Amino acid sequence: MNAATKLELLIGDSSLSTELKLIAEKVKSNQRISFDEGVLLYEKAELGYLGVLANYIREKRHGDKTYFNRNFHIEPTNLCIYDCKFCSYSVLIKEKSQGWEYTMEQMLDIVKNYDGQPVTEVHIVGGVLPQYDLKFYSELFTAIHKHRPDLHVKALTPVEYHYIFKKAKVDYATGMKLMKEAGLDSIPGGGAEIFAPEIREIIAKDKCTGEEWLQIHEEWHKLGMRSNATMLYGHIEKFEHRIDHLEQLRALQDKTGGFQTFIPLKFRNQDNQMSHVPEVSVIEDLRNYAISRIYLDNFDHIKAYWAMISRSTAQLSLNFGVDDIDGTLDDTTKIYSMAGAEEQHPAMSTQELVELIKNIGRHPVERDTLYNVITDYKDFEFPVEEKPKYYQLPVIN
């Protein structure tokens, strides 16, 4: 049964409450849902109902297509002047143990390690330290492009930009222009956490505010450039705060159209100052993906970051509004493994990503950062490897 028929059947279900029926009808006729309706979905809607709505939207936009890319991360440092309570990095600066601070040469060496490999994106994000300033990052982006012009530099968040622009005494518009000239190609979605000041003040005090986060993305979009957005959920926030966050993203997207992808980030509670806060269930993760898909009617893509939620939850999410599962990663990011994610060494080959997507009947497409198609894997067969000799059963007389 296709997604549209499932939605029709749901709308015709006499046991559905009037309010949930109205929301389903809005989705069918491509109408936007309101703030109160968003909160109502979080409070009252069952997973099955949300899946039908979110999958309808997902399939209308993308059919079965499921995107991934070939990427690697550089995390310049795991030390940070800030003290976000949820961050498993921020504990380290106090202990001064296990910290790393890469030099420019070390970061360029990481890039050079991928020479000859078909990666398309480097994602750079880490802690905030004074030596990583506007001059440093400008030189880094320029040097990466000089070495490998085709590699897309997706780097830093408004948390870093706010800090380095303030230090360099430039306003956001000038700062973003300088970054573009230096070779920045896009901004990842991090640092958004939860915009609501009463929650942000508790979990991510001192770093840029939600308003500043949005202003920096707006300036970047004004330059004709693209970025992503995230939301850290499942900690001390209430459903109203999640919808407030989605509402502010939706409003900015109406204005600029510069966001490509929304990535909900599940709070993980290992080795941070919020370890006493329990993690939410997989069911809540799936509900959250679905509500994000329904609410953000002006975002093209919803991404499930497999490194954070595990491969099997990433597969499940593809039926709840998600159409992208990020990349190969090559074990280059620590931020989630340190916070307790199942994947302690996140890395998947292209073949593994393709099979993970095909195994649940979806259609894998390798994209670049801007969603240009690199390879369509629908009918692609990987060569079957010759089995090593030791697989042969011994002959028993």
Q: Which residues bind ligand V47 (CB under 6 A)?
A: 86-88, 125, 188-191, 193, 228, 230, 232, 263, 265, 267-268, 272, 305, 326, 335, 339
Q: Residue 24 or residue 87: which is nearer to ligand V47 going by CB?
A: 87
Choose from ligand SF4, ligand V47, none: what does 302 bind? Cβ within 5-8 Å by kind.
Answer: none
Q: Which two tokens stand for residue 104?
A: 């420019």
Of positions 23, 50, 84, 124, contacts ligand SF4 by CB under 6 A: 84
89 contributes a contact to ligand SF4 by CB under 6 A: yes
Q: Residue 51 or residue 264: which is nearer to ligand SF4 going by CB?
A: 264
Q: Residue 34 or residue 275: which is nearer to ligand V47 going by CB?
A: 275
Mark out the alpha helices in the chain (DSSP H runs).
3-11, 18-28, 35-44, 47-62, 92-95, 104-112, 134-147, 158-167, 172-182, 197-203, 210-222, 239-256, 282-295, 306-309, 311-317, 350-358
Of positions 6, 8, 35, 82, contacts ligand SF4 by CB under 6 A: 82
User: Which residue matches tokens 């490509």?
Assistant: 260
Q: Residue 119 or residue 125: which is nearer to ligand V47 going by CB?
A: 125
For residue 189, the minimal CB distance to ligand SF4 (Å) is: 13
Q: Residue 203 or residue 348: which is nearer to ligand SF4 going by CB?
A: 203
For residue 310, the minimal CB distance to ligand V47 (Å) is: 13
User: Which residue matches tokens 């003290």?
Assistant: 83
Of positions 33, 53, 54, 87, contacts ligand SF4 by CB under 6 A: 87
Choose from ligand V47, ligand SF4, none: what does 90 bind? Cβ within 5-8 Å by kind.
Answer: ligand SF4
Choose from ligand SF4, ligand V47, none: what does 92 bind? Cβ within 5-8 Å by kind.
Answer: none
Give the C-alpha separation, 124 to 187, whole Å.
Answer: 9
Interface map 164-203 toward ligand SF4 (x if CB under 6 A): ----------------------------------------
Report the amino acid identity of residue 298.
Answer: N
Report the amino acid identity of residue 50.
Answer: L
Give the C-alpha separation, 297 to 27, whole Å.
Answer: 9
Site residues for ligand SF4, 122-141, by CB under 6 A, read 127-128
Q: Which two tokens stand for residue 253?
A: 């997207």
Residue from 149, 145, 228, 218 nearest 186 by CA: 228
207 contributes a contact to ligand SF4 by CB under 6 A: yes
Give the C-alpha separation, 278 to 29, whole Å.
Answer: 38
| Crossing angle between the packed helical segments 158-167 and 210-222, to the nearest 10 degrees | 90
Residue from 292, 285, 211 nearest 246 by CA: 292
129 three-state secondary structure: coil
Choose from ligand SF4, ligand V47, none: what does 207 bind? Cβ within 5-8 Å by kind.
Answer: ligand SF4
For residue 128, the minimal CB distance to ligand SF4 (Å) is: 6
For residue 268, the minimal CB distance to ligand SF4 (Å) is: 12
- The CB-nearest residue to ligand V47 is 190
Q: Which two tokens stand for residue 69?
A: 């890319």
Residue from 207, 146, 164 nearest 76 by CA: 164
Q: Given the rule CB under 6 A, which residues bind ligand SF4?
A: 80, 82, 84, 87, 89-90, 127-128, 159, 204, 207
